[in-house]
Amino acid sequence: MNTTSDIRKQHIKMLLVRMELWFAPLLIIVPLIISGVLLWDWYARGVLTQTSAFDGELFLGILLLIGNLVFDIPFLRSVRVLRKKL
């Protein structure tokens, strides 16, 4: 009975890793696109028209980009290590 329970737990772990792998591109690409749009909006509306009214877009774009890089790189490393472990 214990081995059946262990096999089931192992199967659930594999399914969770697979789900994380499916959502990883979404978790990485969407914030990058949004930060790119915010930075482009700041450049197109703020820099080219020489107004500082769009500096909030610059702040949000950089904050989102840095936050995405800080948290996604360790996430991808941990998923890769976990995938190799299973």
Residue linked to tokens 């774009």: 61
pLDDT score for 10: 86
CA distance 58 to 68: 15
pLDDT score for 30: 92
CA distance 85 to 81: 6
pLDDT score for 86: 66
Asked whether the whole model's pTM tops 0.85, one would answer no
What are the pLDDT tens digits along the chain (86 aa)? 568 888 888 888 888 888 888 888 888 899 999 999 999 999 999 898 888 888 899 999 999 999 998 988 888 888 778 777 76
CA distance 71 to 52: 30
Tell me if 55 sits within 8 A of 74, measured CB to CB: no
